[in-house]
A and B are shown apart, each in its own frame.
Chain A
Amino acid sequence: MSTDFKPRVPRQFIGGYRPRIDGVEKAHGRAPYADDEISERNYPGLLHARVLRCPYPRARIKHLDTTKAAALPGVKAILTYQDPEVVRLRPTNAGWTDAVDTVSYDKMMWTKFRDRRVLGDYGTWAGDELGVVVAAESEMIAEQALRLLEVQWEPLPFVLDPLDAMKPGAPVLHPQIAEHNVLPPDPVGGPDVFLSKGDVEQGFAAADVVIEMDTSHHNPTQGSLDPWCCVADWEEGRLTVFSNSYAADQTRMHVSQMLEMPIHKVRVISKYVGGQFGRGDTGDQPFFIFTALLAKKAGRPVKFKHTRRDSFHDTRQGALYHCKVGATADGKITALHFKSIGDIGAHADHSVFALKFAPAEVSDAALAPIPNIKMESYAVYTDRIPGCMMRGVGNSQFNFIFGRMIDGLAERLGMDPIELALKNFGHAWGVCPDKSLTAVLETGAARIGWAEKRHKPGQGPLYEGAIKRGVGFSMHPGWHAEWQEERRGQVQAKITLHPDGTVTLDAPTVETGTGSNTCNVLGCAEALGFLGVRPEDIRWVSTVDTDNGMRDCVQTDSAVSFLQSEVLVVAAQQLKQKLLDLAAPVLGVPADQLTVTGGQIHAPGRSLSVKELLWKGDLVPLSVMVSRRPSGTKTGVPYIASFAEVEVDTGTGRTQVLKLVIINDCGTVMYASGAESQQIGGQVMAMGEALTEELIYDPVRGVPLNFNFIDYKMPTILDMPAIDPVLLEVWRGAGEYGACGIGEGTLTCSPRAIANAVYNAIGARVDELPLTPEKVLRALGKI
């Protein structure tokens, strides 16, 4: 099991094991989530909204009569696609940005993919919100009102499979955007062949070995326990939106732009979120807009909340990958060609990010030493739940083929896949073997027992007559180093030192469970070491409120943990200077002759405590607010890997994961307890997407069958293996700490590690997720 991590540079607060700063509050059940706060008590006259959802995989509303619904006692307002304030809304996309930055309508990433109408009359998946939204005295009345709507539907031909959707004559979802259901080239993702380096044909010709393979990743969903929830509240022409979106600034920009309101008249507030995982992306969800319009129409605050079924709202993109790889007999890869067909579902949203942007990032990092690379992708509309952001966006799908390629090529060459990986992958500014990759893979190999447990595929011993065991791994370059976060723009933090020496830390970010709030407090205490401040002397402001004028650092890319701490280093230096400037006249010594340590200001021959100094004055706190852009210094990338040991029952086809070793090179571990929690916690999602979770559609009716926690099988305590989280500090990034984000990538490699381990166990490949018993038995030729 896990052994405690030891920091490379011992620090007072950063890097240690300790309870979370919000632990007591959460253990008490007092942490305020949106659904708790949006109540009649806080919003007198609160109404509840329910939206019509398309009952067909594709349909248009031909006629609507709301008379009966409007007459139901308790119904207060109905907004429909025919209302002028809805009709005039511009078409939109639910992924304006990947949330690292704040963008306007014109600057959204996907200007070519505005395929959504807020409350339109056309639905493209069974579950699409459209047509009508009702505000009533209770959710139940609103739901009843929906049932009283007289809607004349025009069901339309639909297509569920991306390969079918690409065929000539397939029913086209959004003809104005994608004539044949395949998204056209766009400025961010690029053309179909979005990456072309060297000449792959020459590379294949120069190879001794060329092999090809296919994998299929499915579309699991985020499964946050805390369903989407928001309130829109108008007062004197000003709008307040409180929600469990994790991107307050972007939500404000989205609302302001869609409703054409001045920014200062929109206020967005977020507090705690019960699990984010990329869900619904960035606050660009159309429901913010119709909730706001409905509240305006009703003249009362309106709460819109998802049911569990509604929470099956977006997913990872399903992706079929094909890979062709060529290598010399000694294991040098000469050419790589990846082609993907993405099932993006009914709306484009952020899918091109997953299918093009993320793999392109990998090519800059891990694949940099490979001379010839071609990558192409086709993002295809289907009448299914849309893909959007999900933890490890795009990287999970890519890793499933990438790790397969390493394992398959090594086998063909008669090499150990670890050796093959070290020989070929690194990053653009380094040499092979890469130090970080070497450490990650060697550590993983030692912890799983690679040398002892690995055998020829399917050639290991048989246990209990039918059980076979195997080990496998997969590796990936990290994508959350500081230079990779440069696009965020300014990161802001404010330190306020009170006259009694305590501190308020305003480092706006929505707490979604990642523990970055604890990192911030530790970073603040570390930076304020000269004051002798302890973490318990620091109050972390847990509410993100756009009215405070500061920008929130969005909880994406798992990078908040270190980005804000880097800002705090600068803020602390400035605070120190302010303090010394304040002390100089009191002590009668120029500021440059003063020093401050342990809460004492030292002048030649005497000293004064900071508290004494502050109490002498006007009791106005000292505040410093700092904006800092992440450093763009190219420091290379740290590596991550998962190693798995599995047991496969060749009689039933059941795969049981015995152990997962999760290794992250962190650069600097900011908060060891939190980092390990991310490593361990990420495996719930990894295990689910590898083995049990699967959205199932009725192919005849085109409707989803398992949008609930009974039939959508997320792992429980019974399903989890032993997990060994390993934190390393080998690579080093920019800044004081040189850290990187790790949370998102903790599940990226695990499904492939498990699939490779299954192959090692049974000697037959299952390359389609999830690895169900049926697929295993089919691979074994038993069914």
Chain B
Amino acid sequence: MDSKITFTVNGQSRTVATDPQRPLLDVLREDLQLTGAKYGCGEGQCRACTVLLNGKAVASCMTPVAEADKQTIVTIEGLASGDKLHPVQEAFLAEGAFQCGYCTPGMILGTVGLLNELPNPSEEDILSRMQRHLCRCCHYQKLLKAIRRAAGQTAQSAAPK
């Protein structure tokens, strides 16, 4: 049975009538055309589908849309202010922390979620949280640098690599 589910996505109120058990990822991608969150595994193991649910990073492929009812969601499309990138996006760009870019929306929102909870994370915090995200082509060394940069832990003046 379909249910009416209303939530705020990227600052806009949206209502969908759908199976409440449908993955949030499918609703975002198919019903709302927000394709920034990616399908990578459908089992919460790669986190390419990460979005923010009330500021917290969640795997949207494992989140039934019912859990988003009356909640606030931010996807990668809603992170920047227009063309002005969010500081985490800036940091990823500056450190060259991606290549193919497929895991990147999830990585960026995972980092935003981490910094929302722990604005000044230790290396252990970063590693234990971000080990949930898989990247096959870029390598995590640059990712770690990007996260530190986003957390203001490195000199911003370093030349982009």
Interface string of A26-45 (1 = CB under 8 A from B): 11111111011001110000
Is B27 an interface residue, CB under 8 A from the partner?
no
On chain B, the residues within 8 Å of A39 by CB distance are 29-30, 33, 35
Task: Tell me which of A18, A681, A714, A718 contacts B99 (CB under 8 A).
Answer: A681
Task: Check B144 against A17 for contact (C-beta < 8 Å).
Answer: no
Closest residue on chain A to residue B40 by CB atoms: A225
On chain A, the residues within 8 Å of B130 by CB distance are 716-717
| Contacting residues of chain A (640-684) with chain B, CB-CB under 8 angstroms | 673, 676-678, 680-681, 683-684
Task: Check B139 against A683 for contact (C-beta < 8 Å).
Answer: yes
Task: Check A225 against B134 for contact (C-beta < 8 Å).
Answer: yes
Across chains A and B, the number of contacting residue pairs, with CB separation under 8 Å, is: 175
Task: Check A716 against B133 for contact (C-beta < 8 Å).
Answer: yes
Task: Check B133 against A26 for contact (C-beta < 8 Å).
Answer: no
Whole-angstrom distance between the Cβ of A193 and the nearest chain B Cβ: 37
C-alpha gap A515/B132 in the complex (Å): 26
Task: Check A26 against B104 for contact (C-beta < 8 Å).
Answer: yes
On chain A, the residues within 8 Å of B90 by CB distance are 27
C-alpha gap A683/B139 in the complex (Å): 7
Whole-angstrom distance between the Cβ of B94 and the nearest chain A Cβ: 7
C-alpha gap A36/B127 in the complex (Å): 30
C-alpha gap A183/B38 in the complex (Å): 40
Closest residue on chain A to residue B78 by CB atoms: A29
Task: Check A673 against B100 for contact (C-beta < 8 Å).
Answer: no
Interface string of B88-108 (1 = CB under 8 A from A): 011011101011111111001
Task: Check B99 against A41 for contact (C-beta < 8 Å).
Answer: no
C-alpha gap A226/B137 in the complex (Å): 12
Main SS at interface, chain A: loop
| Contacting residues of chain A (190-224) with chain B, CB-CB under 8 angstroms | 222-224
On chain B, the residues within 8 Å of A678 by CB distance are 99
| Contacting residues of chain B (66-104) with chain A, CB-CB under 8 angstroms | 75-77, 80, 85, 89-90, 92-94, 96, 98-104
Task: Check B140 against A29 for contact (C-beta < 8 Å).
Answer: no
Is B135 an interface residue, CB under 8 A from the partner?
yes
On chain B, the residues within 8 Å of A720 by CB distance are 139-141
Task: Check B96 against A20 for contact (C-beta < 8 Å).
Answer: yes
On chain B, the residues within 8 Å of A673 by CB distance are 96, 160-161
Is B43 an interface residue, CB under 8 A from the partner?
yes
Task: Say whether, besides A24-B93, A39-B33, A225-B48, A308 and B42 are in contact (CB < 8 Å).
Answer: yes
Task: Check A27 against B100 for contact (C-beta < 8 Å).
Answer: no
Task: Say whether, besides A36-B35, A225-B48, A677 and B41 are in contact (CB < 8 Å).
Answer: no
Task: Check A717 against B98 for contact (C-beta < 8 Å).
Answer: no
Is B131 an interface residue, CB under 8 A from the partner?
yes
Whole-angstrom distance between the Cβ of A354 and the nearest chain B Cβ: 20
On chain A, the residues within 8 Å of B30 by CB distance are 39-40
Count residues of chain A with CB under 8 A from any CB of chain B. Answer: 60
Task: Check A26 against B33 for contact (C-beta < 8 Å).
Answer: no
Interface string of B43-81 (1 = CB under 8 A from A): 101101000000000000000000000000001110010
C-alpha gap A759/B1 in the complex (Å): 61
C-alpha gap A276/B99 in the complex (Å): 11
On chain B, the residues within 8 Å of A681 by CB distance are 99, 137-139
C-alpha gap A714/B45 in the complex (Å): 11
Is B39 an interface residue, CB under 8 A from the partner?
yes
Task: Say whether, besides A19-B160, A27-B92, A35 and B38 are in contact (CB < 8 Å).
Answer: yes
Is A558 an interface residue, CB under 8 A from the partner?
no
On chain A, the residues within 8 Å of B96 by CB distance are 19-20, 23, 673, 677
Task: Check A723 against B46 for contact (C-beta < 8 Å).
Answer: no
Name which of A158-166, A267-275, A543-551, A750-758 contacts chain B. Answer: A267-275
Task: Check A19 against B94 for contact (C-beta < 8 Å).
Answer: yes
Task: Check A225 against B136 for contact (C-beta < 8 Å).
Answer: yes
Whole-angstrom distance between the Cβ of B132 and the nearest chain A Cβ: 8
Closest residue on chain B to residue A688 by CB atoms: B136
Chain A residues within 8 Å of B, Cβ to Cβ? 17-20, 22-33, 35-36, 39-41, 222-227, 272-277, 307-308, 511-515, 673, 676-678, 680-681, 683-685, 708-710, 714-718, 720, 722-723
A-B pairs with lowest CB-CB distance, top 9:
A274-B102, A513-B100, A29-B36, A29-B76, A26-B101, A717-B140, A36-B35, A709-B45, A513-B99
29 contacts between A and B (CB under 8 A): A17-B160, A17-B161, A20-B96, A23-B96, A23-B98, A24-B85, A27-B85, A28-B36, A29-B76, A29-B104, A31-B101, A39-B35, A225-B48, A225-B100, A225-B136, A513-B98, A513-B101, A513-B102, A515-B99, A673-B96, A677-B139, A678-B99, A680-B141, A684-B139, A716-B132, A717-B127, A718-B128, A720-B139, A723-B139
